[in-house]
Amino acid sequence: MSLNDIVLNALERARLDLRSGRISVRTELDRHLPSVTCNAMQMQQVVFNLIANAVDGMARTPESERVLTITSSFSHPGDALVRIGDTGSGIALTDKERIFEPFFTTKPNGMGMGLMFCRSVIEGHGGRLWAMDNQPRGAVFHFTLPANDEDPSTMEQPS
């Protein structure tokens, strides 16, 4: 699968939330990113969840400063890397160690299952998911998936 296509499909799904939240979107997707082997529906849900969390994280940010940045690149050793960053309030220091725990939430109506689901899916596909502070503010979630050796532009398409 093309991870870039998965990202673009998730962005399309989130379009209304991004528009209503008045969030600027910046993408820098590596056109030469190798394909990955994954369940496309699960990965699209992961990316959508991370985008939705970014939208929520920017709710109190002034409208003119709301920016969602998504990048993809090839990472050593042989991984596809996606970064989803926001300019929101970030992750409190006391919450950083717990955000991937089941039932831990910082949202008033949250169930605490979204990030746990995301990590479980990513790890189930042989990858990693982690969060860091964004600069100058906000949060950025990174995930990797093992890249296929084949060049996606030369792969035979199923009939």
- Residue 68 and residue 150: Cα distance in Å, rounded? 30
Question: Per residue in 121-138, pLDDT tens?
Answer: 999 999 999 999 999 999
* DSSP count for the chain of H helices, then E strands: 4, 5
- Residue 100 and residue 123: Cα distance in Å, rounded? 12
Q: Is 71 left (phi over 0), alpha (psi -120 to 50) or beta?
A: beta
Query: What is the per-residue pLDDT for 157?
Result: 43
Query: What is the per-residue pLDDT for 156?
Result: 43
Residue the block writes with tokens 């990797």:
144
Q: Which CATH number fits domain 3-151: 3.30.565.10, 3.30.465.10, 3.90.1300.10, 3.40.50.2000?
A: 3.30.565.10
Give the domain ranges of the chain. Answer: 3-151
